[in-house]
Chain A
Amino acid sequence: MDRLVVSRIHSDGYHPDRRQALWLSAALICCSLTASAQKITQRGDTSAPFRTQATHLLGFANAKNNGTGTLSVQGDSLQFQQNGKPGATVKIALVRAVFLGAESKQVGGLPMTLGKDAVPFGGGRVVSLFAHKKYETLSLEYLDADGGIHGAIFQLTKGQGELVKNELIAQGVTISSRQDQSTKESAAEARHENK
């Protein structure tokens, strides 16, 4: 008898909850659709400066090696800004060549490596099998004020390298004939990584 009463109470209470849940999910879907539309608008807007998250591996002006920050095109300069620090800039006119490559790296850095080593019975090796991520490397060759050649390498998430390269080409950077060859090479390297 008691059970029947309880179940009735529950069934009465659930109806408005379900409605609320339905409304909430509908509102969420609407929000996500609006957000994606805004994203597309940002990409389509050509006047907004191009920017992407990147890890500076080496060589870009006076930026710190292996530092994460924002790589952006600011007017006639390519800028890399780390959190709360003044950005390192290079004039796009001084960039001689842009090269794209692919690289697969273990995630987590040193703490993860030490953690994997601590796992007994070689369990860390199994973790290593799955704990890797593919990145794109963007290599730039540019000149300094004295004509000296510099090389800079950035690590970007997959697909972002192409966007930066296209942005630089749009700004007038020429791609040398070695570009295609190097892209083939990096593809071969990525294949080797997958083995």
Chain B
Amino acid sequence: MKTSKCNLWIACGMALVAIILALPGRLHGQTAASKSSGDKEASATRWSLQVDQVDPGNLDLAYSFQLAIYENLVEELKKAKQFQQVFRDGDLKASDVPNLLVLKTTVEKYTPGSETQRAVTTVSGATKLTVRSQLLTREGKVVLERTVNGDVRFFGSNLRATHNLAHNIAKTIKQTSWSGSGQPPATLTDQL
């Protein structure tokens, strides 16, 4: 009985020692990770971004939707604070900026919904948008390519889908580890 108690104490002590030894390493890992993300942000902030007007492709997308996507994109990307400056399409100041990326957005799929249908049925009437977002350098090299969705399923007007889409695009750009350090960037193609 005594020996089993003694063994239990030894096991507890060993576990405690193991935890103490493991903790600083983990903390060190965390610091390194935060440092690397800080570096990533610092390198990304060296770049500026120009948001191009939305290309509707071959789809029958209302012009108000195209404008709303464009305006929401500019707003969301400014809010994300990932880029040094965010320029609009046609801005003359963008030509003087050394590190400039261009964001091109092409609408791939559009499902028109109905606010009334959503309010009555809950499950149908969603407005859905799918776009292909490309980040390009001045020379036209694709840095990042993603397919992003945005929709409004329950509450809100149809234009709310454009806000959700722009928010998702900004989030995707922020979360993706694209090369913003000046080296030739690797192409990243994925679907969100």
State the A residues within 8 Å of B (CB): 57-59, 99, 101, 103-106, 113, 116, 125, 128-129, 131-132, 137, 139, 141, 143-144, 146-153, 178, 182, 184-186, 188-189, 192-193, 195
Q: Is the CB of A106 within 8 A of B62?
A: no
Contacts known (A103-B158, A188-B60); A59 close to B67, Cβ less than 8 A: yes
Residues 98-120 of chain B: 1 if any A CB is under 8 Å from the residue's CB, otherwise 0?
00000000000000101111011
Contacts known (A148-B88, A148-B90); A125 close to B64, Cβ less than 8 A: no
- Chain B residues with CB below 8 A from A185, complex form: 60-63
Bound-state CA distance A44–B57 (Å) is 43
Residues 80-106 of chain B: 1 if any A CB is under 8 Å from the residue's CB, otherwise 0?
000000011111110000000000000
Closest 10 pairs (CB-CB, A-B): A151-B67, A148-B88, A128-B119, A148-B91, A182-B63, A99-B63, A59-B71, A139-B64, A132-B116, A147-B92
- Chain B residues with CB below 8 A from A192, complex form: 112, 114
Q: Which of chain B's residues has its CB closest to A191's CB?
A: B112
Q: Is the CB of B68 within 8 A of A151?
A: yes
Q: Which of chain A's residues has its CB closest to B117's CB?
A: A195
- Chain A residues with CB below 8 A from B72, complex form: 58
Q: Is the CB of A132 within 8 A of B67?
A: no
Find A137's partner among B61, B64, B88, B93 (CB 8 Å cutoff): B64
- Chain B residues with CB below 8 A from A105, complex form: 115, 157
Q: Is the CB of B68 within 8 A of A146?
A: no
Q: Which of chain B's residues has its CB closest to A97's CB?
A: B63
Question: What is the minimal beta-carbon distance from B122 to any residue of chain A, in angstroms?
Answer: 8
- Chain A residues with CB below 8 A from B115, complex form: 104-106, 132, 193
Residues of chain B in range 134-192 having any CB-CB distance to chain A below 8 Å: 155, 157-159
Q: Is the CB of A182 within 8 A of B90?
A: no
Bound-state CA distance A58–B68 (Å) is 8
Residues 40-76 of chain B: 1 if any A CB is under 8 Å from the residue's CB, otherwise 0?
0000000000000100000011111011101110000
Bound-state CA distance A147–B62 (Å) is 24
Bound-state CA distance A146–B90 (Å) is 8
Q: A153-B64, A185-B61 are in contact. List 16 more A-B contacts (CB 8 A).
A: A57-B68, A59-B67, A99-B63, A101-B62, A128-B119, A139-B67, A143-B90, A144-B88, A148-B88, A148-B89, A149-B53, A151-B68, A182-B63, A186-B62, A188-B112, A193-B114
Can you list 18 A-B pairs with a CB-CB distance of less than 8 A?
A101-B62, A103-B158, A104-B114, A105-B115, A106-B115, A116-B119, A143-B90, A146-B92, A146-B93, A147-B90, A148-B89, A148-B90, A149-B88, A150-B88, A151-B68, A184-B60, A186-B64, A193-B114
Q: Is the CB of B91 within 8 A of A153?
A: no
Q: Is the CB of A113 within 8 A of B155?
A: yes
Q: Is the CB of B119 within 8 A of A139?
A: no
